[in-house]
Structure 1
Amino acid sequence: MKKLISIIGTTGIGKTKLAIEIAKHFDTEIISCDSRQFFEEMKIGTATPSSAELAAVPHHFIGQLSVENYYSIGQFEKEAIQKIEELFKTHDIVVMVGGSMMYEKAVLEGLNDLPEADEKNQKELERIFEEEGIENLQKILQNLDPQYFEFVDKDNPRRLFRAIDIIWQTGKTYTENIKDQVKKRDFEVIRIGIQAPREIIYNRINQRVDLMLENGLLQEAESLIPFKNNLALQTVGYSELFKYFDQEWTLDFAIEEIKKNSRRFAKRQLTWYRKEENINWVNFENSVEESLSLLNTKI
């Protein structure tokens, strides 16, 4: 059976490097399931692989969209599975990498047949957001589905809209709606997770934000101001800087918020992965050696 090796872990932990080394070892290609790296104009703030890294191994689903495009998780599932099946015609192994938990789940298990957005619900949620702020949306979701609230991107109103809308429509929590595997895949999955002590993760995140700023994150975000209300840009690293450009926050405060919100995202990733049972964990300091040793016993 063909094998998909899925590399997961928190933001900034070294997934890209590990994926490239594994792909080189097996002479194969990489599928990205990092939903923020799909967008061409967001290279710095999403830590898109460098030109050298992209040249080392063929990558797919990196910078294939514009921030002006709408791209759903359902579209990604369909296109990613098509690409994986295409790659399996010439490779026995394909590597996938990314920290977007739901996007990985969509490829591995398929998506549930969730209802389309309800117009009446969406208008009510828009009203709450505009009149009462995102905090009230967060409280609504926390009360309706505390389990999903632990790892959802709490600062992205569209994520909150979607979950609350589904709960209102179905009468079931969002967790219940998405928990069951929908599709049986005709390939074997081997998941490798990179782990590190939490203080190491947080330090790496802080250093990574500093490096992004050195590499031009401020200028990248400024160039995207005309698109700041687009869904792609409702994300850490950009929304905070837009508040700086709007003179709501100082630059130092915005930078600290980027670091804080990135650490919060890593915490949500850890919460999600702790509930998973089929992850082979490797140490961040020896991830390549441990992973290849593990894979040699399974392949």
Structure 2
Amino acid sequence: MHSHTIIIICGPTAVGKTAFAIQLARALQTEIISADSRQCYKEMNIGVAKPSAEELAEVRHWFINSHNIHEEVNAGIFEQYALHAAATIFENHTTAVMVGGTGLYIKAFCEGMDEFPAINPLIRQQIIVDYETKGLEFLQKQIAELDPYFWKVAEQQNPQRLIRALEVFISTGKSVTTFRKGDKKKRPFNIIKIGLELPRAQLNEQINNRVDKMMEEGLLAEASALYKYKSLNALQTVGYKELFDYLDNQCSLKEAEEKIKINTRHYAKRQMTWFKKDNTISWYNPHNVSAKDVLSSINC
């Protein structure tokens, strides 16, 4: 056994991961690495449910406000960032906490990234042109038809992931999933994974309440300020895309709010599909268990 341990808190959006991770980090007197592919952007706050200024002051967080929306951030970049963060935390602590709902980032951190085939840049260019002229639905339709296996587990609203899958399929004739070899890298620390889950109806209620709260806190103003950057990958995010449609007069504000709730619920369902495939995760209902209970059950 290694002398250092990472405790990973994962699960769907709005389940209560942030509060739970902060409780855990306080009990262990350690720091948190975020595994959220959107909270790393300085410009996005309300719509990504970033921890509050008080929470960020209470416990040191890594990978929050670490990048700007013009920088490319992906699972490979996160893997390197998070390994460096963990090594830094381990200089003064035996345990670190990681928290987030981006399954691919957590997988990259725990197991490393697979090597993908070289792609003809002309193929990529053509797909990007098609995406820019025909929109996200074009990518979704292409992937659903050409790579249905990947489509089932894909982040279906994320054009960067869909473009990647499409270019791999067109270049090789194979699903992007076939290049995920599963050669797991060995990490020099122990990994304990804790999943938080709630009954579907309860989670849906928390999602709906959170969207209402985000709107009250000024999500529309935040989206308006970011409107000019709406084509950037960082902004292809539930909560912003729907409000951009409203700002483009494609729907009413009420319809945009309803779409945010529906799309967030769909996203939560896909997150659970991803995490439930990992049988190394121990699952808890955050309403019935405290961080200290979990610590005593894993002997930390």
The normalised TM-score by structure 2 is: 0.94
* Residue 273 of structure 2, aligned match among 271, 274, 284: 271
Alignment pair present for 1:292 and 2:295: yes
* CA offset digits 1:138-185 (Å, max 9, x no partner): 232223333321232212222210111123334432222225134211
Matched AA of 2:198: A
**Alpha-carbon displacement from aligned partner over 1:111-136 (angstroms, at most 9, x marks no partner):** 11124553222233234434554333
SS of residue matched to 2:48: coil
Q: In the alignment, residue 177 of structure 1 is paired with which amino acid?
A: F
Could you tell me how far 1:69 is from its partner in structure 2? 2.0
Q: State the SS of the aligned residue for 1:287.
A: coil
Amino acid at match of 2:296: S
| Structure 2: tracts of 5 or more residues without a match | none
SS in 2 for 1:193: strand
Query: Helix, strand or coil: the match of 1:62?
Result: coil
One-letter code of the match for 1:122? Answer: R
Are 2:119 and 2:171, in contact at CA under 8 Å, matched by a contact in 1?
Answer: no
Q: What is the root-mean-square deviation in Å for CA atoms of aligned residues?
A: 1.6
Deviations 1:247-281 (A, max 9, x none): 11111111111111101100100111121110011
Does the CA-based 8 Å contact 2:20-2:286 persist in structure 1? no
SS at match of 1:190: strand
Q: For 1:210-221, what aligned pairs fall within 5 Å after superposition?
A: 210-221=212-223
**Paired residue for 1:37?**
39
Distance in 2, Cα, partners of 1:75 & 1:84: 14
Aligned with residue 240 of structure 1, among 239, 242, 245: 242
Q: Which residue identity lines up with residue 292 of structure 1 in the other structure?
A: L
Corresponding residue for 2:149? 147
Among residues 239, 257, 262, which one is paired with 1:255 in the alignment? 257
Q: Secondary structure at the match of 1:71?
A: coil
| Alignment CA distance shift 1:212-1:179 (3 Å) | farther
Structure 2 residue 207 is matched with structure 1 residue 224: no
Q: Is the 8 A contact 1:6 1:191 kept in 2?
A: yes
The answer to whether the 8 A contact 1:18-1:287 is kept is no
Tell me the secondary structure at the aligned position of residue 39 of structure 1: coil
- Distance (whole Å) between structure 2 residues aligned to residue 224 and residue 90 of structure 1: 38
Secondary structure of residue in 1 paired with 2:298: helix
Paired-residue identity, %: 42
Cα separation, partners in 2 of 1:146 and 1:91, compared to 1, 3 Å? same
Match of 2:194, SS state, is strand
Counting only pairs closer than 5 Å after superposition, residues 179-218 of structure 1 correspond to structure 2 as 179-218=181-220
Residues 85-106 of structure 1 deviation map (CA, whole Å, 9 limit, x = unaligned): 1211211111000001111111
Report deviation, 1:72: 2.6
Task: State yes or no: 1:122 paired with 2:128.
Answer: no
Aligned pair 1:136/2:115, yes or no? no
Amino acid at match of 2:232: N
Q: CA shift at 1:6, angstroms? A: 0.4
Equivalent position to 1:70, from 69, 72, 81: 72
Secondary structure of the residue aligned to 1:5 is strand
Residues 29, 94 of structure 1: 8 Å contact kept? yes
- Range 141-150 or range 98-107, more displaced: 141-150
For residues 118 and 269 of structure 2, what CA distance do their matches in structure 1 show? 30
SS at match of 1:255: helix
Secondary structure of the residue aligned to 2:153 is coil
Partner of 1:6: 8
Q: Runs in 1 of length 4+ with deviation above 6 angstroms?
A: none
Residue by residue over 1:196-229, the C-alpha shift from the partner in whole angstroms, topping out at 9 and shown as x without a partner, is 1011111111100000011110111111112111
Q: TM-score, length-normalised on structure 1?
A: 0.94
